Amino acid sequence: MNKIISNITLDLFQSKAILIYGILLAVLGWGLFVLESQPEKVILAILQINLVVLPLITSVFATIYFYKSSEFIQLLLIQPIKRSRIIWGFFSGLNLGFIACYLLGIGLPLLIFYPTLASGLLIVSGLFLSVIFTGLALLVSTHQQDKSRSMGIVLLIWAFFSFIFDGIQLWVIYQFAEYPIEEGILASTFLNPVSISRIIVVMQTEASALLGLSGAVFKDFFGSMVGAIISIATLVVWTVLPYIFIRKRFLSRDF
Amino acid sequence: MISVSKLSKQYGNQVVLKDVDLEFAKGQSVALIGPNGSGKTTLIKSILGLVVPDEGKIEVQGANIRTSPNYRRDIGYMPQLSRFPEQMQVRQLFSLIDDLRKGEDGIEKDLSLYEDFQIDRIARKALGALSGGMKQQVSAALAFYYNPEIIILDEPTAGLDPVSNEILKAKINRQISLGRLVVVTSHILSDLDEICNHVVYLMEGKIYMNASIDQIASETGEQKLNKMIVKLIENKNSDE
């Protein structure tokens, strides 16, 4: 088991793309603290990286890596190893690589320069987003034979959660402003891991203007602590659910 | 050693295997032949667990292959196209397999093909940089590496040079004399002639013929496998 995970992670760090990803995160994470004297602003800047850059890079990279590893996976499949162990090793190995990059590039400077609850939640939500979007990318890749089609679907998923979802929510809020739709908006927020991650972090900062309507309703409804716990529980569901479907598909797939 | 019953597989609308029943025994060397698209590779991949059949059961050494992956310890497989991780070096490939199979006891590794093909010379090369034939050599050495009881070779001779081809055939013959089971697919019937004692002919996903070479020889009165097959097919066609 550990052999597969360590092999994937080591192989990952041989590719230039993940090194560039790590360096990019490190430059942003460490650089922002050096350049900006107000840590509150740094938190918000890193939040933007978490919400937009992180999902994009992890999901695109995971898709490329899955197809690139098809030979490796086939080599494993003819060994006396269970398929469930292979996909678990692949999933964890890949995530471990991303998580290491994130912790070194973003997590460490946050903990050193601004060790607060907001920083902690920022790191946690970033890690969740990294795993969730890796999972979504693998979910698509295991169901598709064609790499470019997978890539298209993955980018669409990213765009949907990053801005299309917000747009739709905003449109609904405008159209139905006369009606009591707060609870509906609140419930729909749980359908988007990116929105949840934003709300968890912003609730802890002074910048509540960034919460938007859904966030304001959220804060009003749950209060910050209960809200954070429920949000994290939702992120856990978002992490586990794709993996269950990836595993199911991988066990019955033809190679 | 391998028993296949009522095996069926469909890709979309295309039926690849239909109700295939087969028994392979110890000491047999089976030539699995048939026209392109007859289901040979799908049959092999089903035995290896790479393809999940729609229906039917496969047992290897008495154990249903769906219950545990351990039956693959006894199978060495050389695929039709050897595809390896491109950046991995040859020696890393072998140590990876060692790593993965560590903890299996009582295994004596078989390095004879590794030595005969002089794979040491290319041990530090990346697998992506090897020529097609060299990849086939690595693939063949890997198939025999863990001294398996069952050896499955899918078009093994296609990319090999004549010398390597002979080395591989000699190796296969040694395994047969040790009482191993060998299953080979190939279109080059003259190669199969020297290594096989049994023929399974697949056509459109069904077994068209399953007999020992001696049996076919006495039926057709021919000595060479390719002549036997041609004659048999002609005979069957004229019967119909």
Q: pLDDT for B49-79, tens place per residue?
A: 999 999 999 999 888 988 888 899 889 999 8
Percent of chain A with pLDDT over 90: 51
Q: What's the pLDDT at A222?
A: 66
Residue of A nearest to B88 (CA): A11
pLDDT, mean of residues A16-44: 89
Question: pLDDT-derived band of residue A212, with 50, 70 and 90 as boundaries?
Answer: low
- pLDDT at position A134 is 96
At A110-128, the pLDDT tens digits run 999 989 888 998 999 999 9
Calculate the average pLDDT of chain B: 88
Residues of B in contact with A255 (CB under 8 A): 45, 50-51
How far is the alpha carbon of B215 from chain A, nearest alpha carbon, in Å?
A: 34
Mean pLDDT confidence for B163-188: 90
Tokens of A143: 């169901």
How open is the CA angle A248-A251-A253, to the nearest 5 degrees?
105
pLDDT band with cut points at 50, 70 and 90 for residue A135:
very high
A154-168, B95-109, B118-132, range with the lowest pLDDT: B95-109
Residue B164, C-beta contacts closer than 8 angstroms, at least 6 positions apart: B117, B133, B136, B137
User: What is the nearest CA distance from B220 to chain A, expressed in angstroms?
Assistant: 39
- Is the model's pLDDT at B193 over the cut of 80? yes
A160-189: average pLDDT: 86
Quote the CA–CA distance of A157 and A233 in Å, as a whole number: 22
Report the distance separating Cα A28 and Cα A52, nearest Å.
14
| pLDDT cut 90: percent of chain B above it | 35
Residue A213's pLDDT band, with cuts at 50, 70 and 90, is low
Q: pLDDT band at residue B138, thresholds of 50, 70 and 90?
A: very high
Domain boundaries of chain B, sorted by first residue = 2-80+149-239
User: Average pLDDT over chain A, rounded to whole?
Assistant: 88
Which of A18, A69, A78 would best serve as a mutation to test chain B binding (most B beta carbons within 10 A)?
Answer: A78
Say if the Cβ atoms of A11 and B72 lie within 8 Å.
no
User: B residues 100-129 near A, CB within 8 Å?
Assistant: 100-101, 104
pLDDT value of position A236: 96
ipTM higher than the 0.90 cut: no
Identify the architecture of domain B2-80+149-239 in CATH.
3-Layer(aba) Sandwich (3.40)
**pLDDT at residue A210 in the model:** 61
Closest A-chain CA to B11? A254
Crossing angle (nearest 10°) for helices B213-220 and B225-239? 60
Q: Residue B222 has what pLDDT?
A: 80
3-state secondary structure A195-228: HHHHHHHHHCCCCHHHHHHHHHHHHHHHCHHHHH
Confidence of residue A208 (pLDDT cuts 50, 70, 90): low
Left (φ > 0), alpha (ψ -120 to 50) or beta: where does B187 sit? Answer: alpha
A133: amino acid identity, one letter: F
Higher pLDDT, B31 or B223: B31
Q: Residues 55 to 94 of B: which have CB under 8 A from any A CB?
A: 69-73, 75, 77, 79, 83-88, 93
